[in-house]
Amino acid sequence: MKIMCLNGWGGKLCDKLLPYLTDEDPDILCLQEVVHTPETGKDWLTYRDGDHILSQRANFFRDVETVLPNHIGIFCPASQGVLWDENTKIPSQWGLATFVRKSYPIIGQVQGFVHKSYSPYDYGEHPRSRSAHTVKVFDYKNNKPVVITHMHGLRDLNGKMDTPERALQAHKLVSFAKGVAENDDTLVVCGDFNVEPSSETLKILSEAGLTDLVTTRTTKGTRNSHYKKKGRYADYMLVNEHTSVLDFNVIFEPEVSDHCPLILII
């Protein structure tokens, strides 16, 4: 089973990302920073937050569904705010999505929030609402269930330091994962956590019996040349003791986002 985790950067590099997803064809795709704008057929809109202006792929969720036709896509919104078509406001939902190959039966799932709750009328004040999603599928090749949980960790404008909110977020993430996983199930927990390797978040996940693959297998981080700030780590993938890791890689080429895809083979 091939599991990919990626912050999709709102589809900003979709001309590279969509062909890449077609070629890689993961069995499970955990995708953060997904835009879903059902009220427009436009391809591109603009996100504005003060001086922060970013092109967004208006129907990024639909685009990924199109290139993964053999998958079931599940969109998990964290908020609905406004994107702009020049001077026109367009309601747009923002969150994360999970894509599961149809040959893997989904036998359990839970969706919820690791920080705040759904923001229905705007994106909200920073740090904004953050959701998480867990799916449990049956792997016929290995004759056992596999549980995959991912989140997009809260972004604090002051940085990636430890905070009580981040600690609570980590505990909630563990609850989402272990609330679905049973007995000897394979468990994978991943996402853009927005923290450093020395963070309390990773300590909490380690105490929950999870081993991080990123920090134990690379020193290059998980950000590429599109990311201009300091701090090269953001994305993590952890597994429990019942996970047989056949291969794991942080993908630096091609660059399909400002984050690197994480690919696990089990």
Q: In this predicted structure, what is the pLDDT of residue 228?
A: 86
DSSP state of 179: T
- pLDDT of 46 > 90? The answer is yes
Q: What is the mean pLDDT of residues 155-165?
A: 95
Q: In this predicted structure, what is the pLDDT of residue 256?
A: 98
pTM above 0.85, yes or no: yes
- pLDDT of 26 > 90? The answer is yes
Q: In this predicted structure, what is the pLDDT of residue 165?
A: 98
Cα separation, 34 vs 232, in Å, equals 22
pLDDT tens-digit series, residues 120-154: 999 999 999 999 999 999 999 999 999 999 999 99
pLDDT tens-digit series, residues 228-247: 888 899 999 999 999 999 99
Q: What is the mean pLDDT of residues 160-184?
A: 96
Q: In this predicted structure, what is the pLDDT of residue 166?
A: 98
Cα separation, 264 vs 257, in Å, equals 18
Q: In this predicted structure, what is the pLDDT of residue 51?
A: 85
Q: In this predicted structure, what is the pLDDT of residue 124?
A: 92
Query: In order of start, what are the domains of the chain with their CATH numbers?
Result: 2-265 (3.60.10.10)
Q: In this predicted structure, what is the pLDDT of residue 218?
A: 82
Confidence of residue 11 (pLDDT cuts 50, 70, 90): very high
